[in-house]
Amino acid sequence: MRSSNPVLTRLTPETYPAQTSGYGTPYQPAPPPVSAVAEADRMTIDDVVVKTVALLGLTALSGLATAFLPLSPGALWGAIAIGAIVGLVLGLIVSFKRVTSPPLIVAYAIAEGVFVGGISKIYNAAWDGIVVQAALATFGIFFVMAALYKTRIIRNSPRFTRIVMGALLGVLGLIVVNLIFALFGVNLHLRDGSGLAIVFSLVVIVVAALTFVLDFDMIEQAAAQGAPKQTAWLCAFGLLVGLIWVYLEVLRLLSYLRGRN
């Protein structure tokens, strides 16, 4: 069973990163540990939680620094562009490398913080307090999905995965199509604050929230199958990617709603 997150799709027994070599033999699930050392080398859910919080902290710090620096409009947009490009490049490298690289993941969190911080500053200048509202809503969505998964109200299954993956591909396809049409001056009304744009943003947020269930399930399986401790960095990175996506979409939706008042 695979996650929708391109990072977490690699968390299978065959693709756990090796603990000692760069591109050596993939990690294979070990039998029950025979010593405390073997047990300590295995990833736990707590490891993922700690590293996710650490990455979120770095993202928040770099975001706050970007938001509060007295940058000119040109410099601010330059910082946003650099953060977006660096974050995209690092994200692709981390996603497709076969070995977990904490330095690259930390650098990604900082670069994304610059990008998100700059975007947040622009939104907050237009609608005061919208950033706090978006942040609270994002964490609310995350914890609600975590609770629904923990209590097994929502469970992952092959059918659930197919539905969410299909919805995810459909949403991403519409976003790309809308962008292409916008380049030619054609407005599909998916990102202009119209009623259709509000509905589309709600759909995107729901789909993004459901992908957390797939991620939680994959992380739980990786821990149960004895993934090495360093895999927690990759899990944390995957969750950070999802949280940033949800935050930006919630920010967009709130701007639509407040712009109509």
Would you tell me the crossing angle of helices 231-259 and 45-68 to the nearest 10 degrees?
Answer: 50
Residue 42: φ, ψ to 5°: -95, 145
Q: Dihedral (C-alpha) 64, 65, 66, 68: value to the nearest 10 degrees? A: 80
Give the pLDDT confidence score for residue 50 in this predicted structure. Answer: 96
For residues 225 and 13, is the Cβ–Cβ distance under 8 A? yes
Give the pLDDT confidence score for residue 96 in this predicted structure. Answer: 83
For residues 213 and 149, is the Cβ–Cβ distance under 8 A? yes
Give the pLDDT confidence score for residue 216 in this predicted structure. Answer: 94
Give the pLDDT confidence score for residue 95 in this predicted structure. Answer: 85
The whole-number mean pLDDT for each consecutive block of 10 residues of the chain, a chain of 261 residues, reads 51 47 37 50 92 97 95 95 96 82 95 97 95 97 95 92 95 94 93 94 96 93 90 93 96 91 62
Give the pLDDT confidence score for residue 66 in this predicted structure. Answer: 96
Give the pLDDT confidence score for residue 41 in this predicted structure. Answer: 80
Record the pTM. Answer: 0.85
Give the pLDDT confidence score for residue 162 in this predicted structure. Answer: 95
